[in-house]
Each structure stands twice: as structure tokens, then as C-alpha cells.
Chain A
Amino acid sequence: MRYTETGFNLEVDLTHGNIEKVATDPRDTELFLGGLGTNAKILWDRVPPETDPLSPENIIIFSSGLLGGTLAPSANRTIVTTLSPQTRLMAFSMMGGFWAPELKYAGFDKVIVRGKASGLVYLWIDNDTVEIRDASHLHGKGALETAELIREELKEPRARILAIGLAGENQVYYASIEHERSSASRGGIGAVMGSKGLKAIAVRGTNDLNIAHPAEFWEECDKILKYIEFRRENPIKGVPPILAGLGSPQEMAINDEQWHTTSFSWGNARVRRKDFWTEETEKRWHEVQSRSVERLISCYNCPMRCGAIVPHPELPTHRYMMKCYSKLTYVMGAMADDLEFGFRIAGLAQEYGVDGYTAPQVMAFAVELYENGILTDEDLPGFPEKNEDRFFYLLDKIVHREGIGDVLAEGVYWAARKIGKGAEKFDHNTIKKHEQIPIKLGMLNPIYYILWSTGEKINITQIEGQMPQAPFPTKELKEDFIKDWVQIPTGKEEKFKQFIMEWGEEGKRFPFWPPIDLICELVEWQETMHYIDDTLGLCAGLSSFPLKPAYHIHNLPVIISHATGLDIDEDGLWTIARRTRNLVRAINLRRGLRKTDEKPPEDHWKKRFPEYEAKLLDEYYKYKGWNTDGVPTRETLEGLGLGYVAEDLIKRGVLKGNGTSSSEASGEKEKN
């Protein structure tokens, strides 16, 4: 018997209307666990690197994680993997909610969709009965509205539905996939659904999901719950309230937004407003938020209330659900001081299905171009005076791909190059062709330098975590933080604790401190824990993201072993995560990712140190077992059982014969 996974994928070919239930290979589970890991393996095996992301040949995988649907709190993530139209690299955006557990109960670990339907369709998975159904009547409908209509049509209120809005249908490069309170929004995966004519997937499942060592597994899950309760009573001391607890930043429950509004940049990642958060603002925002949040809500089997129900009279559904930082992205992008505007536009944008990080940045970019005469009244006929109104105007143009909206629909990087006339200069906050969180700071942070440069999940919040954002101000707070810091990997305890104790002291400040080997270890630890979560389907909010999370490298192997019956220890789990990490990198290298793409925007920090930065990158590559071009060496790949990947990279000239490719060779290739 297979434990925690169903052992079956659902394969759907929309071109031919073919649906198959396919048994999966248990050896892949041992090598990659599930979720992101097995998704990457499928993408590597099946999608040739020259594939156009918006062509029928691209596939899109909707996956649960290995622990998805079990009693492990927060094991509810849906991991969507495909090729991104925006970055042209592998996209692996994910979301919480209820969809992936329901898929497991229906009897599938993944839905793999290829081809292109002749019209707009949706997929209905009712346990073993799967249908491709006509969705022409849902054309242009909002994402939540679509879900409502499908539930009514199927007469199944318990069906869990993910859907795209108009932005996805129109293949906006940053179109999201929306599901109840959650969004999978990075990399334009909604556009890939749209390119296939797939409006939504509804699922209902009533089958058992089996556990290998039931009593032992539940005992571990119960400990997680108890720890969550403990942390409610014992927030981390000495950090902003928004970072003191578990979950994603509790922005629906907490009103105090001083940290985000004063640390992050406003407009087109342009202005830091250190004095924004006044008593008066706090009072006004508190009033708006109390009025706007009807109920705090959770994802499947997780007590954290990171989301909220928000009334919205303009929407056909009259309500929508919000989470986290999207409350601020539009407000800050539009330089609007009004939180109400944020709640209003985010609701519309979510129904259209656009990424709440990227969309406001594209709009802020357009506003800057207009103010600098690069876009004119001809491009923006009837462009309103007020920034807030301009954002509504731009949202409408973008999702309809109307006029200049058709260009802006491709994101800042591509739009800047299409518009020309110096627009490229205003593209100052993208990495790997993708908008990043608007942070512009003073002194280079060497840990974040590597994270921003080498991250392939494209979003910094998806690879960072567990480390305070600044040194604790007092010795007492430092001691308090490290005294029960059990989350550190074996063998690194003393080093990491010493880092916390010394950080901020005389001579112990960035950028030339700490030693590079420790920087590499801290970076790898942060990112690796995310990759583990993404294979298991756990939410980073209880695991890799917050300070002192509930899940960590010591209890995860125990949890996985009891759940699955596999015998996995700390080293084994680390190796699996490394295997996935290197396979993801190989997929991207094969699609053209190069060292030159691995750099934060020039103005990310005021104080830069080019030589030192180059050294940081080189040392990190070396630490990862990658050559000077950032390509995993033959030894690294073979050591992870990825010899076939090494062979392919060598065949394509990405990796040179003996496993070390020189910079000159790849430089030549780029000129070609």
C-alpha cells in the first residue's frame, strides 16, 4: 500500500480530450518525496527546453505535497509547476486553501494538463469520475464568481475549485490562479491555464488517505499543534509585532503596519517613507481594517488565521478573501495613504486574477513613465489625475489587454523593452525578468545578496526565513532568542547561535562580516527548508518562514517517516532537498538561465561592493557544488543520482565534458 500519497496522477490532454489515471513510480517518491520534487522530475522528463510556455506543448502540473491531506497541520499546499511566460524559466508558484487535500481524497496526487482545448473548458474531478466540461458561459467571469457558478452547476457545494479570471484568459504574464482565500500568483501560471483554454478545476473526494504508523504520526502532529498554542502565548521578543508570531505575517489580524510601510519602498519601488506611520495613520487604518475584515479565516487543517473575509459591494460575489501583504501592495504602489483603496482594488484585481505583488508594480511603473513623458496621453487616453483612479484605469486596460494595457500585460521587463524610449531605465526592480518586493536599502546585506541573486523561486519570501531582519538590540534579547532555538541543523548550532550573539557588535556588522562560509550556510539553510516544505506541501508559515517555526529539520524526518513508512533521517531529507534544488537549477540552465541573470537590481542597496559581491557569488556556487558559471558539476549531479541530468547538460554544452565548464566557453555561447 502507498502511504500519504494515492500513487496515481491524473493525466489530461486537452487537445484530444483524453483523460487517464496513471500509477506513479514509488521510487520517485523515495528520490523526490512529492510536490515540487516530483513536479520538477516530470517537467525535466517531458518538456523539452525549447518549449514556448504558452504553447500546447507546455504542461501545467497541479500537485499536492507528500503530506497533503494528512493530519499534519498546514499540509494543504497546492504546488503548481509549469514554464513561466514571464521569466521563461520554471515557475513553481503555490497556494494554500483546500484544493490539494481534496484532490488527494479524490484519489490523485497530481493533475497534469497538456495540450489546448478548442474552446474554454473546465475540469470536474468527482473521485474517479473525471469530465472535461464546457466553460464558454464562464468566459470573462471573475475567479471566485466562476467557482460559485460551477458549484451551483454541479450541485456540489463541497467541490473545491481553482480558477483563473479574465487576466488568465487573456494570458497576462502575471495572471494568477485563484482558489477561495488563496492565490498561486508568481510567474504567470494563470496565463498558462488560459493558453490551454482551461478556466477552472473542480474537485471532490471521499476516499481514505492512509498513514503508515498512525499513532506515532498523530503524536508528532499533536506536538505541532501544542507548539502553535505555546507560541500564541509566547511571541518572539524584540521584533516587530508582525514578525513575532507564526503563520504568514498576520496582517489581517494585526493593524500595526509600521514595519512594512516604513521599511519597504513606495511607488515604483522608489521612495522609502520612514515617517509614514503616525498615530493618526494608525488610528485611521485601524478603523478601516476593523470595518473591512468580517472574519479571520484559515486554510485546511491549520489554526493560523492568515486570511480574512472582506465585503466588497462592487463584486458579483459581494465578498472576497484577502491575505497577508496584498493589503499594502496597491496602496504603496499608488502612493495612496488610504487603506480602503487597498481593500477595494485588491478585491477587483483578485477577481481578474492578477498577482498582487507584480500588478501594482507594473502600474506604478506605467505612472512613472507617464510622469516622465515616455508614455503620453496618446498611450493613456483619458488618464485620470489621481493615482488611485489611475490604478483602476490601468488594471482595467491590463486585464483586457486593451491599448497600452496589451504591452503592460507582459510585466515591467518586457513592457520596458517594447515601449523603449528609455523606459528600460525605469525597470529597476526586476530580477530574472520578474518584479521583486520593493525594498531599497542602504548597506549591502551579504546574506540577502546571495538569496536575491540565486533564488529561482523568484520571490524572496519563498526562500528566506527563520532569521531576524536586524540584530537584536540587547544581549538579553539575543540570549532569549537562542536559548530554545532548536530549529538549527545538526552541527551548526554553535555557529548560528554565535552569529546571533555577535551580530551588531563593534566589527560584527555587514557587509564584510560574518565569514563567507557562514553566510553560505545561513543562505542554504533558509532556502533548503523551503524546498523541503514544497515537496511536502507544508505552509512556510508554520515552517520555513517565521522565526522559530513549528516544523524544522529535526522533527520533519520523524514526521515523514511515520507518515510514509520510508526511513528518512536528517541527512537523507537534506539530500532529497538538494536533489530537487539541483534539478530545478538544471531545468532553468537548460532554458537559458546564466550567471549574468543572477544579480539584484543595481539600486537594491545604496552601498555596493562589486568585487566582494562577485566573490560572494563564486563562493556560494562552490559551496553548492556548482562551477564558476553556477552550473552543478558532474560530481554534484552524479552524487545526487542525477547522472542523466549531467549528461543532458553536457550534450547541450551547458556543462563541459569533464564536469567543469569555463566562463569563457559559456560566454562564447551567449554571444552566439
Chain B
Amino acid sequence: MKEKKKTKIIKRIKIDADQCNGCRACEAICAAFHAEPKYSSVNPARARIHVFHDPIRNIYLPVYAGEYTPAECAGRNTYTLNGQEYDECAFCRASCPSRDLFKEPDSGLPLKCDMCETEPPLEEPMCVQVCIDDALTYEEVEVEVEEEEEEVKVEDLELGVEALIDKYGMDKLMKTLARMAAAKEEGAV
């Protein structure tokens, strides 16, 4: 008899681009929720969601920040859907060298959607809460998994350091850190 497969709960945000009205409330609340302290500032350029918004082409497409990637794509294809031409990048969630999207505007460090994980947990990510037209809806689904995967959690800090290594090289980064640490110590004396 076949062994029962293991399952896990996947959290996901369903995007119904047809319902999107382009208000960008999702961007505003995302940036504010991730500000420190919470809601202390608004700056959609810091949002981990971006609405590709091109009214003249009737393009309204919310996209979430995904993984950071150090490499650009080789080709940039276009898709035509329902008569609208979309740039491939419009669907891409990556923080990548070819664009300034999903990067901290001041440091350039990559941003990634964390589903607003917080203590105590929210019922739904904030972007879903403010999207009362239901372009964004939240669901948790149980899916079967082949085998238990060792989940590697890349924390924000690690993600940032990784990006810095890619940008400047491990060697340069280590040297800079050492120098800054020394300077700080000196300043403290």
C-alpha cells in the first residue's frame, strides 16, 4: 500500500487583476506596516507589493516581491493576454539588478513579502485587508509534499548581507565590516 503523503499548509494571496482598481492602497499599507515603528511612515517605494498600473493600456497588475536574484534575465519577452501586451518583468517577483523595484530606496537592499508575519499573527496580510474590492484575497491551503523539506529560513538580515556580497564581493564586505567595527570601538572609548 502506498504510504500517505505528508501535507503542509501553504499561505497564499490570490490575485484577481480584473478586480484591481489601481488605488495602490496595498502599496501604501505595506510600506507603513513594515515601517519601524509600525505605521510611522508611508512610502510606496518601500512596499513589497507593486501595482503595475498603466491605465491607457488597461494594465492593472499587483505583483508581490519574491526572492532576490543577483543575475539579470538573458531575454526580456513580452506576453499578450486578452489583447494587452505585458512586459515579462511585470509578472516577475524578483528583486534583481535590471530594475529598482523591490529594493529599499535608500540602501538598495532587496525587499521580500513576508505575508505580514507578526506576533500575534494577523488574520490576513495587511494588503488583503485594505483591498476591499477583492483583487487580493488570502487563503491557506493544504498541499501534499513529496518529503519533508528542510526549511531554510532566510531572515531579512541574511537576505541583505547576501545582496551586499553579490554586489561588492565577500572580501570587500568583510574588510568594510572589520573597519566599521574598529571605528565604532574607537568611537566608544
Q: Which residues of A contact B (CB under 8 A)?
A: 69-71, 73, 98, 105, 144, 148, 157, 180-181, 205-211, 214-215, 217-218, 225, 228-229, 232, 294-303, 305, 309, 317-319, 321
Q: Which residues on the A side are within 8 Å of B18 (C-beta)?
A: 295
A-B contact pairs, 24 of them (CB 8 A): A71-B29, A105-B44, A144-B56, A181-B55, A206-B43, A206-B45, A208-B42, A208-B46, A211-B32, A211-B39, A211-B42, A214-B32, A214-B37, A214-B40, A218-B39, A225-B130, A228-B132, A298-B22, A303-B130, A303-B131, A303-B133, A309-B55, A317-B56, A319-B55
Q: How far is A147 from B25 in the complex, measured between Cα atoms in Å? A: 23
Q: Does chain A have a CB within 8 A of B65? A: no
Q: How far is A300 from B131 in the complex, measured between Cα atoms in Å? A: 12
Give the top 6 A-B pairs by smallest Cβ distance, nearest first: A206-B45, A214-B39, A298-B23, A208-B41, A206-B105, A298-B21
In the assembled complex, how far is the CB of residue A13 from the closest CB belonging to chain B, in whole angstroms?
Answer: 29
Q: Does chain A have a CB within 8 A of B150? A: no
Q: How far is A98 from B60 in the complex, measured between Cα atoms in Å? A: 15
Q: How far is A210 from B23 in the complex, measured between Cα atoms in Å? A: 20
Interface SS of A by simple majority: loop
Q: Which residues on the B side are within 8 Å of A295 (C-beta)?
A: 18, 21, 58, 60
Q: Which residues on the B side are within 8 Å of A294 (C-beta)?
A: 58
User: Do B45 and A105 have beta carbons less than 8 Å apart?
Assistant: yes
Q: How far is A148 from B40 in the complex, measured between Cα atoms in Å? A: 34
Q: Does chain A have a CB within 8 A of B54? A: yes
Closest to B45 in A: A206
User: Do A209 and B132 have beta carbons less than 8 Å apart?
Assistant: no
Known: A218-B32, A228-B132, A302-B23. A318 touches B38 (CB 8 A): no
In the assembled complex, how far is the CB of residue B36 from the closest CB belonging to chain A, in whole angstroms?
Answer: 10
How many interface residues does B have (CB within 8 Å)? Answer: 31
User: Do A69 and B42 have beta carbons less than 8 Å apart?
Assistant: yes
Chain B residues 13-55 with CB under 8 Å of chain A are 18, 21-25, 28-29, 32, 35, 37-46, 54-55
Residue of A71, A317, A321 ringed by the most chain B CB atoms within 10 A: A71
User: Do B39 and A303 have beta carbons less than 8 Å apart?
Assistant: no
In the assembled complex, how far is the CB of residue A93 from the closest CB belonging to chain B, in whole angstroms?
Answer: 21
Chain B residues 95-110 with CB under 8 Å of chain A are 105
In the assembled complex, how far is the CB of residue B138 from the closest CB belonging to chain A, in whole angstroms?
Answer: 16
User: Do A303 and B58 have beta carbons less than 8 Å apart?
Assistant: no
User: Do B21 and A297 have beta carbons less than 8 Å apart?
Assistant: yes
In the assembled complex, how far is the CB of residue B32 from the closest CB belonging to chain A, in whole angstroms?
Answer: 6
User: Do B54 and A157 have beta carbons less than 8 Å apart?
Assistant: yes
Known: A206-B105, A214-B35. A305 touches B58 (CB 8 A): no
Q: How far is A294 from B56 in the complex, measured between Cα atoms in Å? A: 11
User: Do B24 and A300 have beta carbons less than 8 Å apart?
Assistant: yes
Known: A218-B32, A318-B56. A301 touches B39 (CB 8 A): no
Q: A206-B105, A218-B39, A225-B132 are in contact. List 5 more A-B contacts (CB 8 A).
A: A105-B43, A180-B55, A206-B43, A214-B37, A228-B132
User: Do B39 and A71 have beta carbons less than 8 Å apart?
Assistant: yes
In the assembled complex, how far is the CB of residue B175 from the closest CB belonging to chain A, in whole angstroms?
Answer: 30
Q: How far is A319 from B54 in the complex, measured between Cα atoms in Å? A: 11
Q: Which residues on the A side are within 8 Å of B57 (C-beta)?
A: 319
Known: A71-B29, A73-B25, A301-B24. A319 touches B41 (CB 8 A): no
Interface membership of chain B positions 70-107, coded 1 if the CB is closer than 8 angstroms to chain A and 0 otherwise:
00000000000000000000000000000000000100
User: Do A303 and B41 have beta carbons less than 8 Å apart?
Assistant: no
User: Do B25 and A302 have beta carbons less than 8 Å apart?
Assistant: yes
Q: Which residues on the A side are within 8 Å of B38 (C-beta)?
A: 214-215, 218
Q: Which residues on the B side are within 8 Å of A232 (C-beta)?
A: 132
Q: Which residues on the A side are within 8 Å of B54 (C-beta)?
A: 157
- Cβ-defined partner of B41 (8 Å) among A98, A209, A301: A209
Chain B residues 55-69 with CB under 8 Å of chain A are 55-58, 60
Q: Which residues on the A side are within 8 Å of B43 (C-beta)?
A: 105, 206-209
Q: Which residues on the A side are within 8 Å of B46 (C-beta)?
A: 208
In the assembled complex, how far is the CB of residue B58 from the closest CB belonging to chain A, in whole angstroms?
Answer: 5
Q: Which residues on the B side are within 8 Å of A298 (C-beta)?
A: 21-23
Residue of B23, B45, B57 ringed by the most chain A CB atoms within 10 A: B23
Known: A70-B42, A228-B132. A300 touches B23 (CB 8 A): yes
Q: How far is A302 from B132 in the complex, measured between Cα atoms in Å? A: 10
User: Do A211 and B21 have beta carbons less than 8 Å apart?
Assistant: no
Q: How far is A38 from B115 in the complex, measured between Cα atoms in Å? A: 40
Q: How far is A71 from B32 in the complex, measured between Cα atoms in Å? A: 8
Q: How far is A148 from B41 in the complex, measured between Cα atoms in Å? A: 30
Q: How far is A105 from B21 in the complex, measured between Cα atoms in Å? A: 21
Closest to B54 in A: A157
- Cβ-defined partner of A211 (8 Å) among B40, B44, B130, B133: B40
Q: Which residues on the A side are within 8 Å of B37 (C-beta)?
A: 214-215
User: Do B105 and A303 have beta carbons less than 8 Å apart?
Assistant: no
In the assembled complex, how far is the CB of residue A156 from the closest CB belonging to chain B, in whole angstroms?
Answer: 10
Q: How far is A438 from B168 in the complex, measured between Cα atoms in Å? A: 67
Q: Which residues on the B side are within 8 Å of A300 (C-beta)?
A: 23-24, 28
User: Do B55 and A321 have beta carbons less than 8 Å apart?
Assistant: yes
Q: Which residues on the B side are within 8 Å of A301 (C-beta)?
A: 23-25, 28
In the assembled complex, how far is the CB of residue B6 from the closest CB belonging to chain A, in whole angstroms?
Answer: 38
Q: How far is A207 from B106 in the complex, measured between Cα atoms in Å? A: 9
- Cβ-defined partner of A71 (8 Å) among B42, B45, B131: B42
Chain B residues 125-183 with CB under 8 Å of chain A are 130-133
Q: Which residues on the B side are within 8 Å of A319 (C-beta)?
A: 55-58
Q: Which residues on the A side are within 8 Å of B32 (C-beta)?
A: 71, 211, 214, 218
Q: Which residues on the B side are within 8 Å of A299 (C-beta)?
A: 23
Q: Which residues on the A side are within 8 Å of B56 (C-beta)?
A: 144, 148, 317-319
In the assembled complex, how far is the CB of residue B45 from the closest CB belonging to chain A, in whole angstroms?
Answer: 4
Residue of B18, B21, B37, B42 ringed by the most chain A CB atoms within 10 A: B42
Closest to A207 in B: B43
Q: How far is A317 from B37 in the complex, measured between Cα atoms in Å? A: 43
Q: How far is A297 from B20 in the complex, measured between Cα atoms in Å? A: 8
In the assembled complex, how far is the CB of residue A322 from the closest CB belonging to chain B, in whole angstroms?
Answer: 11
Q: Which residues on the A side are within 8 Å of B25 (C-beta)?
A: 73, 301-303
Closest to A76 in B: B23
Closest to B17 in A: A295
Q: Which residues on the B side are within 8 Å of A302 (C-beta)?
A: 23, 25
Q: How far is A298 from B19 in the complex, measured between Cα atoms in Å? A: 11
Closest to B36 in A: A214
Q: How far is A119 from B62 in the complex, measured between Cα atoms in Å? A: 40
User: Do B24 and A211 have beta carbons less than 8 Å apart?
Assistant: no
Q: How far is A208 from B34 in the complex, measured between Cα atoms in Å? A: 12
Q: Which residues on the B side are within 8 Å of A105 (C-beta)?
A: 43-45
In the assembled complex, how far is the CB of residue B128 from the closest CB belonging to chain A, in whole angstroms?
Answer: 12
Closest to A217 in B: B39
